[in-house]
Amino acid sequence: YKRNPMRCERATGLARFVLSLLQSPFQTAAEQWFERTLDDSANKRLSVPEAFLATDGMLGIITNVARGLVVYPKVIKAHLQAELPFMVTENILMAAVSAGGDRQELHEKIRRHAQAAAARVKNEGRDNDLLDRLRADPAFAGVNLRDVTNARHYVGRAPQQVDEFIREYVTPIRRRHRHALARESELSV
């Protein structure tokens, strides 16, 4: 369940406040085109500092929350294993057709098995048994279900893109600002 709802809600409230500050300069620009009159400067004296202070507070809260972030790989794996069989039915169908099956018949079999498995999950709170149903069906004997349901086949270049992003952008920023990253984030908002 949520571990930091109040802090996250506070950050969301500050973000919403910052977004609301956009209306003031928009309205000023719409009627006087930033001519540097008093109505323009009064507006800036209020909205610009408030935006910076609120953003600073919001980032402090998010930094505090992120430092306590915990990832549970086993829970992620369980969720993935529960949903992946439904997500890869098209690939299972293509593999079964490639193995010589009739597309229409296979489609109907997958549909029936998937609906039965979904009913079991939703109505009985039990595990997804779609793959067991397909393994037991002779129509899918020519399909290597272990290979077709390997999650690595469905992530594309995401692992390389994440590595590249971290290497090219995140690591240089972290090096440049390591002194700031070493500070504890105290909540003051």
Check if CATH label 3.30.430.20 holds for domain 73-154: no
Predicted pLDDT at 130: 96
Q: Is 38 left (phi over 0), alpha (psi -120 to 50) or beta?
A: alpha
- DSSP class of residue 170 equals I
Question: pLDDT per residue over 136-169, tens digit each?
Answer: 999 999 999 999 999 999 999 999 999 999 999 9
- DSSP class of residue 156 equals T
pTM attached to this predicted model: 0.64
| Crossing angle for the helix pair 73-87 and 89-98, to the nearest 10 degrees | 50
By the 8 A CB rule, do 14 and 54 touch? yes
Give residue limits of the domains in the chain.
5-70, 73-154
Question: pLDDT per residue over 44-63, tens digit each?
Answer: 889 999 999 999 999 999 99
Question: pLDDT per residue over 7-50, tens digit each?
Answer: 999 999 999 999 999 998 888 888 877 677 777 788 888 999 99
